[in-house]
Every structure is written in C-alpha cells, then in structure tokens.
Amino acid sequence: MEAGMIILLLFALQGAVSSANFYGDSFSLMPPEKQEDGTFQMTFYHRLNAKGVCEEQASFECDGASCSFQKSKAVEPKGEDIQQDSWCQSETHTMANISTTQKSFSLRASGCCWPANLEAKTTWKSLAELDLGTRSDTQGLNSCPVSTTVSSLRVPQNCFTSFRLLAHDPDGDTVRCGFTKEAVVPAGFTLDETTCTLKSSGQVGVGVHVFELMLEDFPSKNITLTYADGSTVFQDVNNKDRSPLCKVKLQFAMEILAPIPNCELGHVQPMFLSETPSHDDVLYASVGQEFRLVARAQANHARITSFQVSGPQDMKTAFSQEDLGKALLTQTWTPQSSDLYRFIPVCFTAETKEAQSEMRCIVVMVTQASIIQGKAAVQCSPNKMNVVLEKASMPGIDENFLQLRDSSCSLTSNSTHIMGSMSFSTCGTKVEDKGDFIVFTNEINSFELPNEVIVRREKVKIDFSCKFPKTISISSYYSLHKSDYIFTESSFGSFGYTFEIYRDKDFKNRVPARAYPVEVKLLETIFMGIKAQSELPDVKLFVESCKATPDDNPDNSRFYNLINNGCVEDETFKVHPSDQTSFNFEVQAFKFNGNFDQVYITCSVILCEPSSPFSRCAQGCLKEPARRRRRGVSKETGGHYITQGPLLFIRQAVPEAEAFEEDSMMMDGDAGLMMKIKTPEVMKNDTLDVMKNSSPAEVIPPPLPKETGWSEGEWKIKEMISTNISTVFFATAFLVALVAMAAVLYHFRKKRKAEDRKSLIVSGWN
C-alpha cells in the first residue's frame, strides 16, 4: 500500500515537472497576402522556450478564422556539455485564412506552467493582434514588430544594470514596449518603453523572474487605414489614445545568479568581439542561397563552452574554441521560397559555467535571389547618399511601382539604371547609433494600389545604408534639392511633378541643384513653379494646399498656410498665368519666429480630367474642407505631397555708416595737432561749401556732375583716385610746411643766439 502511494507520488511529481517546462515564447508574423478569392493568408511563426522537451505546448485559437497548423522540428543550441535536459526552442509554422470582412485578426494560446519563480506565476497566455486596414503610406497591410529571446537567460545579481531586447518594426514604425496588464512586474526592474530595455531600479532578487511584455507599433506620421468594406480610420500621431496597428506578446524567464567577484566584460562574462554583428542590425539572405552569420566572443578568466541560438528552423550552428579564451560561432541557413520577404529574428549568447554574455539580436530579411544579386552601388558623401541599381540585374521589376521609405520622395531612371538621392535628414532616412559607428539607412520597396485585387509584379525590398565612424565629423546640416516626384495610379497611369525655384518671374531660369539651400533675404520675392507630366493627353493640375514649415516634415506642428483648401491665405502670394498643367507663383520671403533660419514649402497637388464637373479641380476654393468624393466618379488622382527647399534666411549686412561714429577724432602726437575726419556717410551728405571753411583733412570730393556722362563705376574709380591724390598732395604739403617752419625756427634761433653772444662780448669789453 505504501509502495503504491510512493509510485503514484512519483508519477505526480514527474507530471508536475514536465508540465513546468514553459520558459517563454515569441511571435513573428509575415505580412498578410491577399488571395485571388479575396481572403487574406496569414503566416506566423511561434517560438517556444523549453528545457529538455522541445515540443510545442500551445493550442492556438484564431478569432474568426480557420487555422491549420504545421509543426517544425526543434532548434537546439550547439556546443559542449549538451545534456538531456538542455535548453531548447521549438518553432511552429502556422497559416490562417482570414475573411476580408474582418478589420482585425487575433491569435491566442494558453497553457501551464511556468517554472518556479519569484513572481509566483503559473499559467501563461500568448497573444498576437493585427489591424487589417490598408495603410495609406505603404499601400499594404501592416507588418508587426519582430522580437525573440534565447531559451535561457542568466545574469549575476551584482552585474545586472540593463538588458536590451529586440524590437524591430519592418515598416519603420515606432515600437513601444510595456508590461502587460496581467503581468506581475518583478521587483527591482524597470522597462524603458522606447528602447525596450530592462533596467534595475534597485537590487534584483536572486532566482527566476518571469517577464510578460507587449510590443505595440504606431506609425511615425499621419496615415489612413482603409478596410475591405470601404470604411476608413485616420491615425493621428498627436493622438496619445490611438490604437496600435499590431500587438505582439513577448514572454521570457530570466535567472538572477549569485554575485560574482568581477563584472568586467571579458573577465568571466563573455564579451563579443568586433566582427560580431551589432545589436538590432538588419542582414540579408536570398532564397536558395546559403546565409552565413559569424559571432566571436572572449572570456579571459572562464571557458566559453557553447553558444545559445534562437533562429529559424534548419539553421545549422558550428562551435569552436580558440586561443586566449576566445570562441567562434558560425551559423548557416538556406532560406526557402516560403521565407520570401520574411523578417526573421536571430538572437545568440555566449555561455560559460559562471555567467552568460549579453544577448545580441539581429534581423534577417529574405529577398529574391535575383534582387540581392543585382548590381547596386551606394555612394556616401558627408551630407547625402546616392543609390544606383542596374535594371539588367533585376528582370521582371516594374520601376513605376518602386519608392523610397518616404513615398513622397521618388526614384528616377533612365534606360539602364534606377537612381535615388537623399540627404541624411529626408526621405525617411533613419540614423542609428551602432557604438563606434553612425549608420544612415533607407530602403527601396515596391507598393500596390488600393484597388488592386491581384498583382503580377515582383515584390521588391532593398535596404541600403551609409556607415560612418564616430571619429570623423559628419555635416550637421543636410541640404537636398527636391524636384522630381513620380506616382502611379491605375486610372491615370504614371504621372509626375516637378517643383522648382526660379530666379525671376519668367519662370524659365531655375535655381540649379548645387545652389541649394537657396539663400534669401526678408521681403525678397521668391518665384516657384509646379509642373505636372502625365501619360494622359488632357489633364489639369490643381494645387489644393501649400504650407511652410521650418524643416522638411510637413506634419510639423509649427506651420504657416499659403494656400488652404484651394484658397490663397497669404497676402503677398500671387499666382502667375500658366497652362493647365503648370502652377507658377510668387511670395515674399519670411522666416519663422524663434531660432529658425530655413523654410520648406510643401504642396498637395491633384490631377483631374478637365471635363469632370465634380472633380476637386472644378470645385476650386472652398472655405470649408471638401467632403470625401468617389474618385471613380470625379475622375481625379489622390492628393500627393511634394516638397521644395530649403530657403535659407540670411541676415543683411550692417551698413558701414552704422559701424562708426559720425565723426572720429585722431590725435597727431608729434605735431600736437587734432584733425577731424569725416566718415563716408557724412562725406556723401556734405556740400562743396564745407570745403571753404574746412581743414585739408576735411576736404571731400564733390558729388557726381550730371553732365560728365560717366557711369557710376567709372566715377567711383575716379573718385577713389582723386581722393588718394588729394590725400598725398595735402600730406606732402603738410610735411613741406613743417620742414619750412622748422627751418625758419632754426634760422631765427641761430640768429638770436648770435646776437646774444655778440651782446655778451660787447659787455665783456666794457
């Protein structure tokens, strides 16, 4: 009886141990794809951290969708001391078909149990939610933030200061990290929501801690979300209560170890060496080609026994030890066609028996092999970067559907190449601090039109960057001449705009790109012109709005309207006559109050068919904002923003007369004389009558006689020569007078001495 009870207790204990095998999980979702039947196909990957048994424990539920599950094999760490109860990670590939009538998609899972932890958490819940609205900036559905962790995280108690997590957004949105509502926040820990970094607010407790975080992405500029039923939602960046486009839950356990004698990196805690990629780097892989990732770490007073890796299925790892406490990790992986356009998080740590290195994470973006092999050249200069792509290396690519990260900045092309040029502060260029380097990144990607049901164009996403060491100086002012904008819409084909600054009101002599930023003075007249080009023979250009901002961000809260709703609002703004595809205007230069010396002009432009009586062009000036119109009926394009600038305000030089006193006094110490010198402004206003009662130093040239016939330049030269001759003449005369006076004085003094001597002699005889 007692033996039977013991056996039952052992079985119960074994079941409890095996069930307490959840050490966290993460989701990564691929961008949803629209199918021919109108449904969306959702593909996501679920990674689950475990110990010993690397099997999926989750039972997923899809809200309003039918989900099919496909299980993948476990991804295990490679290295020495691999035992039966080793840490491991499984990855499940899941697909879901979603009806287009849905406005959101959510995926849920739950289970039991967390290992014994200081927060007393037992059950766990996983969650991923995605908004299914089409974004106005990318013309596609939103991409969720990407994150993951390795299975086992360990930090000595006295060495914990901060811990960086991966929070990468494929769309470049702002990612906010926060503890979930049901989470028990571990004591002594805080979370930086903007950088997704755990920090210590005091001493952290030794033992296992459980972290439940939610990653949410928000667009960095105003966008509109359009749903399958035609409804729309406006996302205002200034609205703090706006809903996230995607929510992805990240869960992990971290063990705080007993203190160690030395927390210096590279001592007992392994330190990554320079050839290891930086945290949050984006690397590229191609379908059918082997991707290779190398990481090297060093611990001078401990032995690196292995590396932990969280990566895609079928990633192979090779571990080797080197001299001086170094170890090398080599990871190889060959993406399949199902991985195309996938953003894959990869995290790794170097392990010793005493401690663990920092967790370093990168993102691998999978592209077409033909694109990644295409000949692309990036030229970096101190204030901008240029990218050039060979068309021959990218067969099947439609250049009319390519754009930079900021869709308002377009690419140009010729018969052989596609080209883009941007400064480090425009066109969506991002700046990243990579330790010893500053990296400026941008991308070329393809887009779809909102009304397209199917497409037969290849998707394109090419990232490019310029990397500068911090030891060199980068120009703090970046100027960019923005001129050519190219757009494509199904009913209007390809069309474009040029936005230029001109030198005069003829609107023919434009300011060249090398002259930007264009220097202007207050109240100076500025001439600008917008020109539309279209494949359609008969179109009309309408400028709905123009506003000025102190930088190239048209959404800046500091702005000044020149045109609003088609109505001119600036009193100096004047429209010049032009044809129906041009808009030429002038405006007096101004500057913003405060420490702002530059001005950008952004205009919203629309093309219409002139014969359409319901188009925005036909409506003209509206005192109230125009109501939403069906563009299919009104026969017009969408509103596109184009920007030009900067206009750089320069202060006028201080007049010379203001820099001096009206009269200056000069003392001649030798002669004991004081001369009064006229300043140039006084000299111009004096008359010839003054000459009669003035000393030589006050004499000025007469004003220009009208009957001379000399030009102003010739007279100025003659005036300068005359002035110089007069100065020399009077100076010479003055010196001669001094010499003559000295001679006379010498003569009389000598004569007086002789007379005095003579009188003395006569008196002596007497």
Using one digit for the tens of pLDDT, what is the confidence trace for 8-45? Answer: 333 333 333 344 688 999 988 887 777 777 677 788 88
pLDDT at 219 over 50: yes
Beta strands 518-520; 640-649: pairing state: parallel
Encoding tokens for residue 403? 């754009």
Q: What does the mean pLDDT of the chain come to? A: 75
The average pLDDT across 164-179 equals: 94
Q: What is the pLDDT of residues 325-372, one digit of tens each?
A: 999 999 999 998 888 888 999 999 999 998 999 999 999 988 765 444
**DSSP 8-class letter at 157:** G
- Pairing outcome for strands 153-156 and 246-257: parallel
Q: CA-CA distance, 378 to 420, in Å (whole number)? A: 10
Question: Residue 394 — pLDDT band, cuts 50, 70, 90?
Answer: low
Question: pLDDT digits over 101-159, tens only?
Answer: 778 888 888 888 899 999 999 999 999 999 988 899 888 888 999 999 999 999 999 99
| Residue at 636: amino acid letter | E
Amino acid in the structure at residue 686 = D
The pLDDT of residue 378 is 77
Q: What is the pLDDT of residue 18?
A: 40
pLDDT in tens, 617-628: 888 898 776 554
Q: Using DSSP bridges, classify how beta strands 104-112 and 123-131 pair: parallel, antiparallel or unpaired.
A: antiparallel
* Domain range 369-444+451-477, CATH class: mainly beta
Q: What is the 3-state secondary structure (H, E, C) of 655-690?
A: CHHHHCCCEEEEEECCCCEEEEEECHHHHHHCCCHH
> What integer pLDDT is reported at residue 684 of this predicted model?
36
What is the Cα 90 distance to its own chain's centre? Answer: 36
Q: Distance between CA 385 and CA 408 in Å, rounded?
A: 17
pLDDT at 760 over 80: no
Tell me if residue 401 falls in helix, strand or coil: helix
| Cα–Cα distance measured from residue 330 to residue 318, given in angstroms and rounded to the nearest whole number | 5
Full strand arrangement of the beta sheet holding 271-272: 271-272, 291-298, 326-333, 316-321
**Residue 54 in contact with residue 176, Cβ under 8 Å?**
no
Q: What is the pLDDT at residue 720?
A: 46
Measured in whole angstroms, the distance separating CA 750 from the mean position of its chain's CA atoms is 90
275, two tokens: 């050839």
Instruction: Give CA angle at 535 (532, 539), nearest 5°.
Output: 55
How many angstroms separate the CA atoms of 389 and 371, rounded?
10
Question: At 295, is the pLDDT very low, low, confident or very high (cuts 50, 70, 90)?
Answer: very high
pLDDT at 608 over 80: yes
Residue 656 above 60 pLDDT? no
Structure confidence at residue 17 (pLDDT): 35
Contacts of 677 (CB under 8 A, 6+ apart): 663, 664, 665, 666, 697, 698
Residue 719 CA, distance from chain mean position:
57
Q: Are the C-beta atoms of 119 and 186 separated by less than 8 Å? A: yes
DSSP code per residue over 186-202:
PTTEEEETTTTEEEESS
Closest CA to 135 of 217, 239, 222, 41: 222
Mean pLDDT of 503-521: 87
Q: List, in sequence order, every residue forming a beta bridge with 177; answer none if it has no partner.
A: 215
Q: Which residue has the higher pLDDT, 54 or 604?
A: 604
Concatenated DSSP letters of 413-448: E-SSEEEEEEETTSTT-EEEE-SSEEEEEEEEEE--
Element holding 251 (H helix, E strand): strand 246-257
Judge whether residue 6 has pLDDT over 70.
no
Name the pairing type of β-strands 246-257 and 24-29.
antiparallel
- Determine contact, residues 673/643, Cβ cutoff 8 Å: no
CB-hemisphere CA count at 13 Å for 121? Answer: 25
In single-letter form, the type of residue at position 458 comes to E
Q: What is the mean pLDDT of residues 383-398?
A: 72
Query: Residue 107 belongs to what H/E stretch?
Result: strand 104-112
Statement: residue 550 has pLDDT above 70:
yes
Return the DSSP state at 14: H
What lies within 8 Å, CB to CB, of 615 at 6+ separation is 542, 608, 609, 634, 635, 636
The token pair at 327 is 């170890």
Q: Does the pLDDT value for residue 761 go beyond 80?
A: no
Please tell me the distance from the alpha carbon of residue 432 to that of residue 326, in angstroms, as a whole number.
29
Where is average pLDDT lowest: 198-212, 215-229, 297-311, 725-739?
725-739
Half-sphere exposure of residue 309, counting CA atoms within 13 Å on the CB side? Answer: 27
- When the candidates are 2.60.40.3080, 3.40.50.11030, 3.40.50.12280, 2.60.40.4100, the CATH number that belongs to 481-652 is 2.60.40.4100
As a whole number of angstroms, the distance between CA 410 and CA 641 comes to 11
Reading the block at residue 647, the tokens are 């206009």
List, for residues 674-729, the tens digit of each pLDDT value: 333 333 333 333 333 333 333 333 333 444 443 334 444 444 444 444 444 444 45
Q: Is the pLDDT of residue 392 over 80?
A: no
Length of the chain: 766
Angle at 601 between CA 595 and CA 602, to 5 degrees: 125
Buried-exposed string 366-386: b where 16+ CB fall within 10 A, e elsewhere: bbbeebbebebeeeeeeebbe
Q: Which residues, 6 or more positions from 240, have their beta carbon under 8 angstroms from its beta carbon?
A: none
Torsional sign, CA 347, 353, 357, 359:
positive
Residue 679 to residues 377, 665, 686, 705: CA-CA distances in angstroms?
A: 60, 11, 11, 22
Beta bridge partners of 224: 234
pLDDT tens-digit readout, 419-478: 888 877 778 888 776 655 667 888 887 766 656 555 445 566 677 777 765 443 333 333
User: Which residue in the block uniquely carries the two structure tokens 């009193």?
Assistant: 571
The b-or-e profile of 43-74 (16+ CB within 10 A means b, else e) is bbbbbbbbbeebebbbebebeebeeeeeebee
